[in-house]
């Protein structure tokens, strides 16, 4: 259940607004990724990129670094 909660909130962050949620708050609820690392990802993914990552891809990730690489690929693809 914690992973599903995290995925829903991550989807909202990545798809709607990179600045609209308090990352620390929802990370405390989910306990999934390191909060400082995810907050850094949120800051990197400015809403102008409109990045969305399918849930099936997120389910294959296991670390913050994997997520960073996935988001970076999405950013580079739009550049």
Contact 27, 51 (CB under 8 A): no
CA distances from 14 to 1, 7, 61 (A): 20, 10, 15
Who has greater pLDDT, 26 or 77? 77
Question: Given this model, what pLDDT does residue 60 score?
Answer: 76
Question: Given this model, what pLDDT does residue 18 score?
Answer: 39
Task: Determine the angle formed by the axes of helices 2-15 and 23-30, rounding to 10 degrees.
Answer: 160
How many angstroms separate the CA atoms of 23 and 30, rounded?
Answer: 10
Each residue of 48-72: pLDDT tens digit? 566 666 667 766 776 666 776 777 7
Question: Given this model, what pLDDT does residue 56 score?
Answer: 74
Name the residue ranges covered by the structural domains of the chain.
2-78
Each residue of 12-37: pLDDT tens digit? 555 433 344 444 454 445 544 555 55
């Amino acid at each position: 259940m914690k992973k599903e909660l995290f995925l829903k909130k991550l989807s909202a962050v990545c798809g709607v607004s990179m600045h609209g949620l308090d990352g620390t708050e929802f990370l405390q609820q989910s306990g999934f990724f390191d909060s400082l690392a995810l907050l850094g990802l949120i800051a990197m993914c400015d809403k102008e990129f409109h990045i969305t990552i399918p849930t099936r891809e997120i389910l294959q990730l296991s670390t913050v670094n994997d997520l960073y690489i996935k988001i970076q690929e999405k950013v580079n693809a739009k550049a």
